[in-house]
Amino acid sequence: MAFDVQEFKKEYQKTFEELFAYGYEDGSKTEQFIALGDLVRGRYSEDWIQTITAYNKKQEKQVYYFSMEFLPGRMLKSNLLNMGILDCVKQGMEELGLDLDEVARAEVDPALGNGGLGRLASCFMDSIASTGLAGNGNGIRYRYGLFKQKFINGYQIELPENWLRNRNVWEVRKENKAVIVRFGGDVSFTQDEDGRLRVNHVNTRDILAVPYDTAQVGYKNGIVNNLRLWSAEIPYGDEARFSTEQQREEVKRITEVLYPDDSNYEGRLLRVQQEYFFSSAGVQSIVRYFKRLKLDWSLFPDKIAIHINDTHPTLAIPELMRILLDEEGLTWDQAWEITKKTVSYTNHTILQEAMERWPETMIQDLLPRIYQIIQEINRRHIDKKAPLYGEDLTMRTAIIANGQIKMANLAIIGSHSVNGVAKLHTDILVADTLHDFYVMYPQKFNNKTNGITQRRWVQIANENLTAMLDETIGTDWKSDPEDIKILKAHRDNKEVLDKLEQVKLANKRRFAEYARKEMNLEIDPNALFDVQIKRLHAYKRQLLNVLHILDRYLQLKDDPKVNLQKRVFIFGAKAAPSYYYAKQIIKLINAIADLINNDPAINDKIKIVFVENYGVSLAELIIPAADISEQISLAGKEASGTSNMKLMSNGAVTMATLDGANVEIRDNVGDENIFIFGLKSEEVQEYYRNGVYNSRDIYDKNPRLKRVLNLLIDGTIPGVEAEGRDIFDSLVMYNDEYFLLKDFDSYIRAQYEADTAFSDRDRWNRMALMNIASSGPFSSDYTILRYADEIWKIKPQS
């Protein structure tokens, strides 16, 4: 794939002219990007073919990662980096009078995911290719990604995100690989001459699933894997059956738009159609591949692993059963054995509102044959387990109950592995949320703590830090992330600490520039940048952050001379459009920003920056500029978190509750390099169990907190009369579901410790250094190797 600069320049000019019939100098940034994208795709295509051919020839076991969401971010620089030609292309572009970064920004950031779960899937795709594993992604090619967020008068407004407006240079439409997915219809049975039952499934509504493939380039290893996203279309030759505009619209609707909910499920018909659509298409194309190998069906699990990312693709289980039973004529026991051995499942949340449950009648109408199979799985499960575990426990694990189908139960029963995404999360699954299943299947449960790819989150997002690390510890950390620990040897090296401070300052200036240009806000790069970037959710407690800001505000109002560290509070968060409370919090934060940013008495000691339309690209700008990483969810609620890992890798110090992967971050950096506060998970559990929490009581007895809370309702903050009242009531009158009031004091204390630490530059730089140096174990390369070794049973290619 290598180039020399001259060769690249020639090829780029040629590609551009062939595409647009004029010189690149006259092209728009978008055109310049498209030409570069086309050139790059052409450049890896040989390796792409080669990789797939080799897998097929060697009949290597392959994993298929089924995920409703992938959140790759812009792909140009990531592909260039992994191909090992980033520097060469950068120089070539420069010699052509172009700035690679500017051209790269013309790529539309495809927001085909909501948050952590989708981004994790993309980090995993990068790591699967980069560690040399035979792996494929399987998902949906949404016509519209997650909505674009705008603030109007401080309120969130959602606009459609037409990410395909300028053509997607990375995807390849594979019409010849399309499959038919069937909905509805009538099921009946007839008996063959040999006595076998034959299933007749007729009068179905048939939808064509067309795959669009995108290369997943491994890091300097020549491996190029495949991500397959399916699009719904009218079957060729079947146009007559979809003669009205409405019928045609219904087909297209299936892959039209991503549901904008994060850790919350919407029990809509269209959503379950999406889930079956991509699960069925994926399973069908896998079976088609396996059949070409001409092996005995019993070898299926030796060649194929299907991983389901949360319960969204769970219908892959009954779909595989259906194909093996109805189309391939296997017996139930054979099919069941194969299915269980093939499928594994990751749970990403314990929140009840995120647990998918579908009305039985909905599934029965939409997928009559799948419904029968689920019923049979359920019947056999109960028959088998009730004598062993008793009626009560067994019925609690039933797939169908009270007219609902519980997807997590189906996923656990129909797979051989169930994992959580951080140690604490897995412990809670085992001890509590999924305890009944743990009693039945202890061997299925395991932990796989999430990870992130430092290729995107350090090498691409933070070039300053990358250069500084290369200079200080060499370049091995790029291929072996653990090697970054060598940096610890420099913890007392003043020169290195100063350099690190300069790197951070440069990144903060870059963000300040953005705030000035895009938001018309002046911020001081020397202030402490305090960052909370994640979806807006009550359990993530952005409001606790707000209470701290208001507390500071009051102190400065009382005494403008009070010795407080100058801080810039940076927020990025989208709220699900129907999540009313979350949207009220957005409005509140924007109103407080207006108030404080424009109050001359505060004298810039506090600035609040709430960026619009937070996503992967903005994360790449903000994370390298962060001093503090806010990870302040109520203990037990955040399954893992992954921004915590990205921020630590970039030298931010974590302000954390002992939740999700924060616990493991603490274990790695040590208590002196993190700020821990708040209730522990067991304490929260205990409060829920004995029900003695009384937030009103705390409000009455804590004058400092009371004063802060009263700001929400006393007119101090203009324009939030309704929001302020509702939020106040949720905390004080309706007993504060997420214990903000309980954790307030210890949070404030931790924040003042952070102020003190920050004012000692050497101390702070050392903390930042220790965070970077301890971030290696959170590489998704290691996470993925553990999945491969312990769950999928596949080995890196040699």
Residues binding ligand CR6 (CB under 6 A) = 115-117, 120, 262-263, 310, 348-349, 354, 421, 450, 638-642, 660
User: Least distance from C-beta 329 to ligand CR6, angstroms?
Assistant: 37
Chain residue whose CB lies nearest ligand CR6? 116
385, 444, 456, 534: which one is catalytic? 534
Nearer of residues 473 and 645 to ligand CR6, judged by Cβ: 645
Q: Which residues pair with 570 in a beta bridge?
A: 531, 609
Which CB atom, from 103 or from 452, has the smaller least distance to ligand CR6?
A: 452
CA proximity to 108, closest of 151, 167, 44: 167
- In whole angstroms, how close is the CB of 344 to ligand CR6 at the nearest point? 15
Contact 589, 618 (CB under 8 A): no
Question: Which among 794, 786, 792, 778 is positioned nearest to 345, based on CA atoms?
Answer: 792
Minimum distance between the CB of residue 456 and ligand CR6, rounded to whole angstroms? Answer: 16
**Shortest distance (Å) from residue 290 CB to ligand CR6:** 29
Q: Mark out the alpha helices in 431-493 (DSSP H runs).
A: 435-440, 454, 463-473
Nearer to ligand CR6, 3 or 358 (CB): 358
DSSP string for 519-584: H-----TTSEEEEEES---GGGTHHHHHHHHHHHHHHHHH-TT-----EEEEEE----TT-HHHHH
Distance between CA 217 and CA 48 in Å, rounded? 8
Pairing of strands 145-152, 62-66: unpaired
Q: Give me the least distance between CB of 642 and ligand CR6, in Å please.
A: 5
- Check: CB of residue 400 under 8 Å from CB of residue 416: no
Please indicate whether residue 537 is annotated as part of the active site.
no
Q: Are 208 and 230 in contact (CB under 8 A)?
A: no
Name the helix (H) or strand (E) containing 683: helix 681-690
Name the active-site residue from 61, 444, 478, 535: 535
Nearer to ligand CR6, 15 or 631 (CB): 631
Catalytic residue among 340, 348, 425, 567: 348
Who's near 328: CB < 8 A, 6+ residues apart?
287, 297
Q: How far apart are CA 59 and CA 580, in angstroms?
A: 51
Of these residues, 456, 540, 567, 607, which one is catalytic? 540
Nearer to ligand CR6, 421 or 460 (CB): 421
Residue 629 burial (CB < 10 Å; 0-12/13-18/19+)?
buried
- DSSP codes of every residue in 30-59: HHHHHHHHHHHHHHHHHHHHHHHHHHHHHT
Check: CB of residue 789 under 8 Å from CB of residue 461: no
Q: Is 490 a catalytic residue?
A: no
Q: How far is the CB of 119 from ligand CR6 (least distance, A)?
A: 8
Q: Which is nearer to ligand CR6, 106 or 350 (by Cβ)?
A: 350
Catalytic site includes residue 381: no
Least distance (Å) between residue 311 CB and ligand CR6: 9
- Least gap, CB of 386 to ligand CR6 (angstroms): 31
Chain centre to alpha carbon of residue 635: 20
Shortest CB 229 distance to ligand CR6, Å: 19
540 is catalytic: yes
Instruction: For residue 452, list its beta bridge partners.
Output: 779
Cβ proximity to ligand CR6, 67 vs 394, nearer residue? 67
Kindly name the residue from 357, 646, 742, 766 that is annotated as catalytic: 646
Query: Cβ 113 to ligand CR6, closest distance in Å?
Result: 9
Determine the 3-state secondary structure of 689 from DSSP: helix
Burial of 635 (0-12, 13-18, 19+ CB in 10 A): buried
**Residues with Cβ within 8 Å of residue 754, at least 6 apart in sequence:** 528, 565, 628, 653, 655, 675
Helix 368-389 and helix 332-342, axial crossing angle in degrees, nearest 10: 90
Cα angle for residues 501, 506, 508 (degrees, 5° grid): 90
In 3D, which of 320, 420, 398, 307 has the Cα closest to residue 66? 307
Min separation Cβ 672 and ligand CR6, Å: 26
Rounded to whole angstroms, the Cα distance separating 397 from 636 reads: 23
Least Å from the CB of residue 790 to ligand CR6: 17
**With respect to ligand CR6, which residue has the nearer C-beta, 354 or 658?**
354
Q: Looking at beta carbons only, is 115 or 481 nearer to ligand CR6?
A: 115
Q: Given the structure tokens 């037990």, which residue do they identify? A: 636
Cβ proximity of 644 and 631 under 8 Å: yes
Q: Which is nearer to ligand CR6, 24 or 778 (CB)?
A: 778
d(CA 29, CA 102): 8
> Closer to ligand CR6 at the Cβ: 282 or 660?
660
How many CA atoms, within 13 angstroms, populate the side-chain half-sphere of residue 178?
15
- Determine which one of 15, 642, 654, 783 is catalytic: 642
3-state helix, strand, coil in the chain (%, to 5): 55, 15, 30
Helix (H) or strand (E) holding 591: helix 580-597
131 or 631: CB nearest ligand CR6: 631
Q: Is 433 among the residues known to form the active site?
A: no
Residue 485 a catalytic site member: no
Report, as residue numbers or ranges, the catalytic residues: 348, 534-535, 540, 642, 646
